[in-house]
Amino acid sequence: MHGLVFVTWEKYLTERFGSDLLNEYRHAIGEGIGETPLTSRVYSDELLLAGVGAASRLTRQTPDTLLHEYGRYFMLNGLISRLCAYLLNDIHSARDLLLAMSKAHEQMAYADEQVTPPLFGYAAMPNEPNGLYLTYDSPRKLCPLLIGAIEGSAERYGEQAQVFEQTCMREGAPTCTFAIRFMRPSSPSRQTGALGGGLSQPSQVAWQSERWEAQRRLADAVYAILPDADGVTLSEAQRRLRATFHDLDEAARPFIVLEAINQLRHAGWVASSANEAGDALGSRRYWRAPRADGEKSAF
C-alpha cells in the first residue's frame, strides 16, 4: 500500500485526536524514531490493518468509524491536493473522480509491482445523470473507507453524496456494490473544487489556475526527459530539463522539479527506486512507468 495512505492516516489521527494520541499510537505499533512513514515508500497492508486496530483500542472508536472518517479526510486534506494534483486538477466533479479512480489505481500498480490496487467496476444509473453504480473488490475489504472517500469526494467539489451499499464482501458477497447519487445543494456554498482551498474570489481562482497550468507544463516536460528504464537522479533530470527546455525557469529549482516528479509518481506515470535497499534522495532514480493500456506515452 502506498506510503501516502500511511502518512495521511497519521495526519488524520493527529488532527482528530491530538499529538499525544499519535505518540501513544506510534508506541503501540512499535514505530520508533526515524521510522515514521514516507510518501515515497510502499508498506504492507497488514501494517495499516494493525494500525487501525491499535487506533481503535486507544480512541475507543470502532474500526469502521475510524476508516469512514479517514476516507473522507483523505479526499479533503491539503497533502492529497498537492501530491495528487496531476490527477485531481483535471477533474471537476465527484462522479468524474470515481470514474477516473479505476484507471488511476491500475496505472499506479504498473508504476510499482508491490502495489495491489482494488478493482472497481461502474454502470450508469438509468434516468440519473448524476448517479452511478459502483462495484468494489479488494482483499482488504475496506468498504467503510471507500464510503468515506466517496463522501469526501463530493464535498471536495461542493456536492453531496447519497451512498447505499447494496451488497458487502464482509457479509459473504463476492464484491461490495453501491448505488451512489451526487447532488449540488440548493443554497450557495463554499466549494473546494479541484484546486483545493475553498477559493471563492474569481481573481484567486484565476491565479490558482495559472499556477496549475505552470505545474502541468513542468510535469509534462519532466516526463518527456525521463528514460523508460534504469532511471536518472533528480540532479540528472534537472540537467536534462535545462538542456531540452531552455525557457523553463522552474528547472533551475530542484525542489520544484522534485514536486513535479512526485505528482507524476502519485498519478502512476513515474516509477522510482525508493523501495530498494540503500535508497537515499540524492541517489534515487526515476523513470517512466509502463502504461496500463499498453500504448506508448502521449507526452
Q: Does 110 lie in the same domain as 175?
A: yes
User: Strand 128-137 and strand 119-125: pairing?
Assistant: antiparallel
Q: Does 258 lie in the same domain as 229?
A: yes
Global pTM value = 0.85
Mean pLDDT on 281-290:
93
The whole-chain average pLDDT of the chain stands at: 88
**Predicted pLDDT of residue 192:** 46
Instruction: Evaluate whether residue 182 is within a structural domain.
Output: yes
User: Strand 176-183 and strand 270-272: pairing?
Assistant: unpaired
Can you tell me the distance from the alpha carbon of 9 to that of 14, in angstroms, rounded to the nearest whole number? 9
Mean pLDDT on 193-216:
61
Instruction: Evaluate whether residue 237 is within a structural domain.
Output: yes
Q: Does 270 lie in the same domain as 231?
A: yes
Can you tell me the distance from the alpha carbon of 297 to that of 299, in angstroms, rounded to the nearest whole number? 5
Which of 165, 193, 221 is the C-terminal boundary of a domain?
Answer: 193
Helix (H) or strand (E) holding 226: none
Q: Does 232 lie in the same domain as 283?
A: yes
Q: Does 225 lie in the same domain as 185?
A: no
Q: Does 206 lie in the same domain as 189?
A: no
Other CB atoms within 10 A of residue 256 CB: 18
**What CATH number did the domain enclosing 179 receive?**
3.90.1520.10
Mean pLDDT on 131-152:
95
What is the span of the domain harbouring residue 278?
202-288
- 179 has which bridge partners? 133, 164
Instruction: Evaluate whether residue 274 is within a structural domain.
Output: yes
pLDDT at 202 over 60: no
Q: Does 233 lie in the same domain as 207?
A: yes
Q: Does 210 lie in the same domain as 263?
A: yes
Instruction: Evaluate whether residue 71 is within a structural domain.
Output: no
pLDDT band at 190 (very low <50, low <70, confident <90, very high): very low
Instruction: Evaluate whether residue 43 is within a structural domain.
Output: no
Q: Does 225 lie in the same domain as 278?
A: yes
**Predicted pLDDT of residue 57:** 98
Instruction: Evaluate whether residue 56 is within a structural domain.
Output: no
Can you tell me the distance from the alpha carbon of 116 to that of 63, in angstroms, rounded to the nearest whole number? 22
pLDDT at 148 over 60: yes
pLDDT at 283 over 90: yes
pLDDT digits (tens, 9 = 90+) for 34-79: 889 999 888 998 999 999 999 999 999 999 999 999 999 999 999 9
Instruction: Evaluate whether residue 258 is within a structural domain.
Output: yes
Question: Which amino acid is it at 168?
Answer: C
pLDDT digits (tens, 9 = 90+) for 212-238: 888 889 999 999 999 999 999 999 999
pLDDT at 200 over 80: no
Q: Does 214 lie in the same domain as 266?
A: yes
Instruction: Evaluate whether residue 8 is within a structural domain.
Output: no
Can you tell me the distance from the alpha carbon of 229 to that of 271, in angstroms, rounded to the nearest whole number? 9
pLDDT at 260 over 90: yes
Which of 146, 170, 193 is the C-terminal boundary of a domain?
Answer: 193
**What CATH number did the domain enclosing 217 receive?**
1.10.10
Which of 193, 224, 239 is the C-terminal boundary of a domain?
Answer: 193
Can you tell me the distance from the alpha carbon of 97 to that of 91, in angstroms, rounded to the nearest whole number? 6
221, 241 Cβ separation under 8 angstroms: yes
The number of domains in the chain is 2
